[in-house]
Amino acid sequence: MSQRLALNCVRFTVLCIVTSGVLSLIGRAQNVPVFEISKQDTSFKFNVKASIKIAGTFDKWDATFTLTSPDVTTGVLDIKIQADSVNCGGGVVEKTMKGKDYFDVEHNPLITFHSTKITQTGPNTFDVDGDYMMRGVTKPQKLTLVLTGKGTGTGEVKGTMYFDKKDYGITKKIPFVTVADRIEVLDDIKAKRVSGPPVVFKQ
């Protein structure tokens, strides 16, 4: 066998291996549900008990829900929020939320949540354990979700998470305002399955 023929055989073998791998990946991808989260119908909000109303929403964010199989518990929820997009209606409260004593948006532009485990706790309820990062501090937190629209291909998930603001270095007080330590985070996520099979839930 000539050297050129041997080289061509090697190239052909490598091509076959690569092609087989790509086709295998495509085949697996086709067997996995793929979801798209609606920008228009999704919101991320927070609420704090205080002597004045302290609540807001975040106007800029990115979120994905990725599965490795149709089993819902294999899903991974990733949320990235632009801290400086916090909207409290303007005024002193919003300025304080953006300042160094609270979200510190100049030095910590992102607030993130990355799920590490999804547990189905009922027909339409889930506990989502994950890492929540704010002000550069990462702590384990639990997001409790309630799903509507199961089995339709389009679902809405409403979630609640509570954390102590002191755990993230928020210790300064707002002058003349009494603020509770516990912060409530409210997620309202609407997603649509754009390809792949339906998600499998525990009955």
The domain ranges of the chain are 1-30, 33-195
Q: Report the share of the chain in percent with pLDDT over 90.
A: 73
Could you say which architecture CATH assigns to the domain 33-195?
Beta Barrel (2.40)
Q: How far is residue 170's CA from residue 23's CA, in Å, rounded to a whole number?
A: 51
pLDDT band at 30 (very low <50, low <70, confident <90, very high): low
pLDDT band at 28 (very low <50, low <70, confident <90, very high): very low
Given the structure tokens 């798209």, which residue do they identify?
A: 36
Host H or E run for residue 15: helix 3-30
Host H or E run for residue 168: none
Is the pLDDT at 52 greater than 90? The verdict is no
Is the pLDDT at 56 greater than 90? The verdict is yes
pLDDT band at 29 (very low <50, low <70, confident <90, very high): very low
pTM of this structure = 0.82
**pLDDT value, residue 136:** 95
Q: How far is residue 11's CA from residue 93's CA, in Å, rounded to a whole number?
A: 65
Given the structure tokens 């996520």, which residue do they identify?
A: 189
User: What is the per-residue pLDDT across 57-109, written as a single tens digit (0 to 9) for each?
Assistant: 999 999 999 999 999 999 999 999 999 999 998 888 899 999 999 999 999 99
**pLDDT value, residue 102:** 93
* Token pair belonging to 105: 């948006």
pLDDT band at 19 (very low <50, low <70, confident <90, very high): very low
User: What is the per-residue pLDDT across 109-159, written as a single tens digit (0 to 9) for each?
Assistant: 999 999 999 999 999 999 999 999 999 999 999 999 999 998 888 999 999
Is the pLDDT at 199 greater than 50? The verdict is yes
Mean pLDDT of the chain: 87
For 24, the 3-state DSSP assignment is: helix
